[in-house]
Structure 1
């Protein structure tokens, strides 16, 4: 199979169920909203070593937010509901509440909700009011008042949608990955949790040599090991591989994000192949076959 002259391997991305919450951060301007969103989603690349997976979903115009200010929607993901609640309290309480001019609102309609009770910080001076038709708390702070909702929708989402970009040169692969991430940013309900959305050091489960390691380099996808390991997945002429990992609020959101990302990536000259990572269907509940994602 080919798309724009680039080989699309007949394989699938294997993904997993995860609990997802979505918060809307608003501020006096887009710069402040984005700075706070980046802080609130930091150290959230992979649950292999981070307390949760987190990322920026989309920029919000003033018309899209409850208080009529610029904003950013973020997503926070955790395998357990209690763990997600803890992450919401920590990330929103320490990274958003403390930032100048910000407010927080629930960004996910769901039957199940998690309480994030920040109003106790007001020490009795806090009060309830309505903003944009929503019940919120107003908490007196040095900068004025902090406005927040205290119930956040939670639902079962999907973590680990992915695709691999094989290219002749490193900068070609990076440009394709950057274009893919930029396209995915237009898909609501999906995030690319790694730094700038790009994974440079894809891993495999466990280790062949170090038994204490839970994850180690995926040698089959390392170009410099092409002639040194059995079963290398690196085609001749490929000198760089990057991965884009996607978490979403639903299967459809992940599928749309994969499609948008791949279609943007293959337009870059020098790409050789698009593939995906899986565990032979043995671990993940979800399988996203590339040919079905792309309609090939």
Structure 2
């Protein structure tokens, strides 16, 4: 199968279940909402070594936020609800409460699982806290040096999906990177998913385990490393490919990831120098979700 003259390999992306919380951060300006969101989602690329996977989902206009201010939706992902509860409290408490003009609201108010993060944060006020209501939502008002920090009582969590992906093969590093950047920008317009790696792009895709170093949980996927394609038996890199980037996608449901993969691939193949699109899987050993590339189109 080809799309805009670029080969789309007949394969699938393998993904796995994960717990996801969705948080709306607002600020006096878009800048401060984004600063807080970026801080709160830091050190959140991969659960291989990070305590969570996290990222910015999308921006929210003042017309759609409870307090009528610019906002940013973020997602925080962990393997269990206990860890998710801890990550929410730590990331919001240390990275959003401390950021100028911010407030926090529930991004999944209908979810069955709710974490009382706002209730826990109120204790920072040491007895000076109070309750108020914004757009019908119960909110705790925490006096701080700049004024008041506002936090909705609960933050919702659900069972979502992590590890949707596709690989971009380019004839040069810049062609592959330009395509990856364009794909991430297109995905950023969607609701319900994040690309948790730096700038949304994976430069060092890994395989599970190791061929040589048994103490490693994950190591470089040498079959996708262009600089050693002439030295690796069974390399996946064609002769005319000199750089590969991976886009990893987490989302609240299968449909969100399918939409993100589809628009990401459609955007990537418009960039000159892109030679092929494929995806990463482990033959069904990693997770129960399979996103077949050809079925996206």
Which TM bucket (shorter chain)?
A: over 0.9
Q: Does 1:149 align with 2:158?
A: no
Residue 282 of structure 1 and its aligned partner are, at CA, apart by 2.0
| Other structure's SS at 2:236 match | coil
Q: Residue 99 of structure 1 corresponds to which residue in structure 2?
A: 99
> Among 109, 123, 127, which residue is 2:130 paired with?
127
* Matches of 2:145 and 2:227, distance apart in 1: 55
For normalisation by structure 1, the TM-score amounts to 0.98
* Matches of 2:248 and 2:189, distance apart in 1: 16
Q: Residue 36 of structure 1 corresponds to which residue in structure 2?
A: 36
Count of paired positions: 294
Residue 283 of structure 1 and its aligned partner are, at CA, apart by 2.2
Deviations 1:229-272 (A, max 9, x none): 11100011100000000000111101110011001000001111
| 1:54-133 pair list within 5 angstroms | 54-108=54-108, 109-116=110-117, 117-133=120-136
Q: Residue 228 of structure 1 corresponds to which residue in structure 2?
A: 231
Residue 150 of structure 1 and its aligned partner are, at CA, apart by 2.4
Residue 140 of structure 1 and its aligned partner are, at CA, apart by 0.9
Residue 180 of structure 1 and its aligned partner are, at CA, apart by 0.3
Q: Residue 17 of structure 2 corresponds to which residue in structure 1?
A: 17
The answer for unaligned runs of 5 or more in structure 1 is none
Q: Does 1:291 align with 2:294?
A: yes
| Other structure's SS at 1:258 match | helix
Residue 281 of structure 1 and its aligned partner are, at CA, apart by 1.4
* Matches of 2:57 and 2:28, distance apart in 1: 19
* Matches of 1:144 and 1:213, distance apart in 2: 48
Which ranges of 4 or more aligned residues in structure 1 deviate by more than 3 Å? none
* Matches of 2:31 and 2:128, distance apart in 1: 30
* Matches of 1:114 and 1:137, distance apart in 2: 14
For normalisation by structure 2, the TM-score amounts to 0.98
The answer for unaligned runs of 5 or more in structure 2 is none
* Matches of 2:10 and 2:134, distance apart in 1: 50
* Matches of 1:112 and 1:86, distance apart in 2: 14
